[in-house]
Amino acid sequence: MNNTTIAVTNDVKEEIKEFGNKGETYSQIIKRLIESAKRRQLQELLMSEEGTVTIDEARKEVKKRWPKS
């Protein structure tokens, strides 16, 4: 695997280190943080109430669209 250098301030380096476990590299810490952020984004997407309606609202809409004959 190829390595690269990413310039960060000493403050950011120390903050990253605070998330690390003993023996973990900065790359491992950052990778774990990225995976955690991805899971959180997915959870927020799946749990979003944007564009949802209540069951009662949905039932009313169904009755309007498909009234019983």
Secondary structure (DSSP) of 12-69: HHHHHHHT--TT--HHHHHHHHHHHHHHHHHHHHHH--TT---HHHHHHHHHHHS---
Instruction: Answer yes or no: are the C-beta atoms of 16 and 8 closer than 8 Å.
Output: yes
The upper half-sphere exposure of residue 43, i.e. CA atoms within 13 Å in the direction of its Cβ, equals 6
- pLDDT value for 12: 97
Give the pLDDT of the chain (69 residues) as one tens digit per residue. 799 999 999 999 999 999 999 999 999 999 999 999 999 999 988 888 888 888 999 999 898 889 875
Query: What gap in Å lies between CA 53 and CA 22, rounded to an integer?
Result: 47
For residue 16, give the amino acid letter.
I
Domain ranges in the chain are: 10-65
